[in-house]
């Protein structure tokens, strides 16, 4: 089988080379070939690269880290859909129901996204970037389960074209494409992205409420004890950590986000400084607000800081979104500050902007814009130190 596939690509490759009649589509041909075989590019002069880990396989490690989160998200989404419909909530029926909800969103994300990737690749005459392998999977995981497919298609189109391709494609984009797509859908169709009913497929019923921990926190009156309110709603600290709560398809389980983080850190794919900095930013800002809790935001300010680590999509965002090597800083000092500020902004937005209780998305996108500036300051400081020692 392998020999036949190799022969197929070898036979048709000349048609896609520079002098071939299909040379404009060389990027498409190369994208399909590297799915089956390792890249065979060689260098004629130094530096010589001795590594078979190309971008596609680099992204495959990220996908491997996302798989546990995705599988649990599929089950959790199906569980709440079955619960709302009064059907069996056993594992297999819940997982199958979750697949029926998730797969259409995934197909739309990859189908529409790769269409734009291929279109720009052919137009510019370069290969298709494998970076969308991750973005196309992350995007449906941060969406509500019942988002109309046409809205999902418009969102991913905006994320790929406006968030990435207009800057020159993968490696040149300032913003995370998946988060850019979600931000567009959120502001363009807020009715489909907010409220209690959107987090459960089929809508909330008397049997199950779609209220999330962040929504409960945002609606708390001064003097209320949010942890007690969460416990009463069945959204205690353990449930939030494990992920058995309503929410976006893939971002509810902080536990499995930690598993994904360990995979990315051990393999060296993601930088741990951003993750740790984000956690420190959440804890530091949360504890500071605990000491200043007063006024109309007293209840949210008094919420123990560690709740912010497991509520909403912070764990998912800081592990899989903030560590995007393209839109994050490249220097270690800047990474610490970048992660810390994402954590701090997440808490500040959640506490002081009840209209938008989930602050992680905006915090990451905002810091994406400042990532180059942080690197610039770090490099300038290092240069000044070196000059001063000359």
Give the model confidence (pLDDT) of 171-195 as tens digits: 788 899 999 999 999 999 988 887 7
Q: What residues contact 7, with CB distance under 8 A and at least 6 apart? A: none
Band (209; pLDDT cuts 50, 70, 90): low
User: Minimal CA–CA distance to 152: which of 88, 104, 199, 115?
Assistant: 104
* Cβ pair 309, 254 in contact under 8 A: yes
* Average pLDDT across the chain, whole number: 86
State both tokens at 278: 């984000």
State both tokens at 135: 């973005």
**Is the Cα dihedral 246, 250, 251, 252 positive or negative?**
positive
pLDDT for position 207: 52
Per-residue CA distances from 133 to 18, 55, 111, 170, 305 (Å) = 27, 10, 11, 12, 34
The model's pTM is: 0.87
User: Minimal CA–CA distance to 74: which of 264, 209, 251?
Assistant: 251
* Cβ pair 31, 54 in contact under 8 A: no
CA triple 321-325-330, angle to 5 deg: 125
CB atoms within 10 A of CB 232: 11
* Cβ pair 97, 82 in contact under 8 A: yes
The continuous run of DSSP H or E covering 323 comes out as none
Residue pointed to by tokens 């929504």: 215
Give the model confidence (pLDDT) of 112-121 as tens digits: 998 998 888 8
Give the model confidence (pLDDT) of 290-326 as tens digits: 999 888 889 999 999 999 999 999 999 999 999 998 8
């Amino acid at each position: 089988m392998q020999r036949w596939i190799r022969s197929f690509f070898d036979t048709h490759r000349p048609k896609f080379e520079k002098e071939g009649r299909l040379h404009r589509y060389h990027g498409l041909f190369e994208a399909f070939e590297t799915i089956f075989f390792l890249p065979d590019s060689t260098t004629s002069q130094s530096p010589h690269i001795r590594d078979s880990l190309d971008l596609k396989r680099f992204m495959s490690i990220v996908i491997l880290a996302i798989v546990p989160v995705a599988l649990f998200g599929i089950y959790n989404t199906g569980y709440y859909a079955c619960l709302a419909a009064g059907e069996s909530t056993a594992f297999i029926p819940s997982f199958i129901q979750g697949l029926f909800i998730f797969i259409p969103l995934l197909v739309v994300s990859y189908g529409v996204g790769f269409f734009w990737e291929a279109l720009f690749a052919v137009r510019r005459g370069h290969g298709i970037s494998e970076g969308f392998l991750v973005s196309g999977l992350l995007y449906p995981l941060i969406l509500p389960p019942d988002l109309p497919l046409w809205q999902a298609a418009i969102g991913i189109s905006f994320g790929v074209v406006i968030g990435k391709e207009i800057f020159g494609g993968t490696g040149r984009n300032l913003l995370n494409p998946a988060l850019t797509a979600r931000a567009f859908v959120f502001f363009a169709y807020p009715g489909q992205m907010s409220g209690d009913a959107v987090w459960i497929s089929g809508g909330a019923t008397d049997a199950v409420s779609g209220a999330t921990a962040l929504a409960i926190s945002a609606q708390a009156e001064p003097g209320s004890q949010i942890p007690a309110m969460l416990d009463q709603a069945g959204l205690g600290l353990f449930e939030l950590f494990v992920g058995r709560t309503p929410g976006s398809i893939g971002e509810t389980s902080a536990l499995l986000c930690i598993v994904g983080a360990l995979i990315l850190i051990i393999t060296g794919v993601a930088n741990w400084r951003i993750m740790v900095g984000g956690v420190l930013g959440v804890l530091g800002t949360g504890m500071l607000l605990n000491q200043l809790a007063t006024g109309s935001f007293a209840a949210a300010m008094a919420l123990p800081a560690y709740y912010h680590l497991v509520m909403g999509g912070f764990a998912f965002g800081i592990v899989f979104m903030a560590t995007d090597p393209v839109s994050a800083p490249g220097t270690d000092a800047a990474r610490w500050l970048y992660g810390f500020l994402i954590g701090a902004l997440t808490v500040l937005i959640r506490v002081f902007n009840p209209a938008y209780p989930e602050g992680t998305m905006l915090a990451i996108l905002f810091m994406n814009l400042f990532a180059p500036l942080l690197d610039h300051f770090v490099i300038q400081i290092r240069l000044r130190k070196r000059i001063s020692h000359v």
